[in-house]
Amino acid sequence: MKYSVILNPYSNRWKAADALPRLQEIYSQQSVDVQFYKTDEPTHATQLAKSISQDVEQTIIVAGGDGTIGEVVNGLYQAKPEGILGPLGIIPLGTANDLVNNLGHPLALEQAVATIIQGKTRRIDLGKVNDWVFANNSAIGLEPVVTIFNIRMTRWKGVIRYLIAALRAIYSQPEWTMQIRWDDGEYDGPISLVSVGNCPVTGGLFRMAPAADPEDGLLTFVRGFAPTRLAMLKLLPRAISGGYVNDPAIHQHHTRSLHITCQPQTPLQADGELRSETLTEITYTILPSRLDVFCP
């Protein structure tokens, strides 16, 4: 089997670049045919994955964080809009590594490589928001505002950065009016957040869609409105455990599709990466059983 590793050196604030020599050494010890590609700009991983996947003998491995995984998955999807994608190998080099943690995959480099080489796979769903595919989570409203603050911060590192970004986003007290339609329900009114999960955890520690299951053929979304900063702050620690969905202001649903009209414009994040800051129409759909990933 031939492996192509797409590595994002910027992942985890350039720490991923330091892992390249060790990865090359590990693969050399395994005596496997592997070629490394380093990304050098946003969406480069998508372009590489789309191009490499044309060679059916190549198995693509993504080395980076959740955003890089998302870019690679989109490259695979663009190359093959129908049918099963992958198998995809994942070497976690990000800050939070949400998808890997949600799937229970190893974080250590040696174990991640061994998992891929042994060849066992697991088939998971994908979500799609407008024209972008995601593997773990997407959101509009408060959550991508957190992403915006997270991008701007350079002093703090690791998961603590997500927590501080959440506090700053809450202090800004954003609010939207949304019309939301899903398989068996609808809502019109004020909204603070809409978080759509293929998996439960995002941001390293927030269980934003606690009932999400990447193999159930459904998206799990949470909507809620907190009218004051204090109300938002009270929900924050409960979002870490997922218990915030038991609050009367928070509602969790399962659906195959979700359409949202929003005023004013909302930002959108998918797999932790900001995809837009100016959306008023958002459509989510589930792509059931679409991606094979190597698993322990």
40-56 pLDDT tens trace: 999 999 999 999 999 99
Which is higher by pLDDT, 147 or 151? 147
Number of helices (H) and strands (E) in the chain: give both, helices first.
9, 14
pLDDT of residue 37: 98
Q: In the structure, what pLDDT confidence band is assigned to residue 243 with cuts at 50, 70 and 90?
A: very high
pLDDT value of position 30:
87
| Average model confidence (pLDDT) across the chain | 94
* Percent with pLDDT over 90 in the chain: 84
Categorize the per-residue pLDDT at 146 as very low, low, confident or very high, splitting at 50, 70 and 90: confident
CA distance 120 to 87: 9
Q: Give the confidence band of 154 by pLDDT, cuts at 50, 70, 90.
A: low
CB 134 within 8 A of CB 271: yes
**Mean pLDDT of the region 219-231:** 95
| Cα–Cα distance list, 141 to 67, 148, 246 (Å) | 19, 11, 20
90: left (phi over 0), alpha (psi -120 to 50) or beta: beta
Tokens of 161: 């950065």
In 28-184 the beta strands, taken as DSSP E runs, fall at: 33-38, 58-64, 85-92, 121-129, 132-134, 137-141, 176-182
Q: How far apart are CA 233 and CA 238, in angstroms?
A: 9
**Over 90: is that where the pLDDT of 59 sits?**
yes
* Average confidence (pLDDT) over 190-204: 96
CA dist., res. 199 & res. 171, Å (int): 27
**Among 214, 219, 240, 236, which residue's Cα sits nearest to residue 69?**
214
Per-residue confidence at 102, pLDDT binned at 50, 70, 90?
very high
Mean pLDDT, residues 178-206 taken together: 96
pLDDT grade, residue 157 (50/70/90)?
low
244 DSSP 8-state letter:
G
pLDDT at 166: 86
Q: How confident is the model at residue 203 (pLDDT cuts 50, 70, 90)?
A: confident
Q: What are phi and psi of 242, to 5 degrees?
A: 90, -5
Tell me which DSSP letter residue 202 carries. Answer: B
Instruction: Tell me the pLDDT band of 158, cut-offs 50, 70 and 90.
Output: low
Higher-confidence position of 95 and 46: 46
pLDDT(173) > 90: no
Residue 242: left if φ>0, alpha if ψ -120 to 50, beta else—which one?
A: left
Whether the predicted pLDDT of 105 surpasses 80? yes
**Which tops the pLDDT comparison, 272 or 194?**
194
- Residue whose structure tokens are 């899903």: 182
DSSP string, 261-293: EEEEEEEEEETTEEEEEEEEEEEEEEEEEEEEE
* Residue 224 and residue 250 in contact, taking contact as beta carbons nearer than 8 Å: yes
Tokens (6 digits) for 121:
């796979």
Query: How sure is the predictor about 12, in pLDDT bands with cuts at 50, 70 and 90?
Result: confident
- For the residues 78-91, what does the mean pLDDT come to? 97
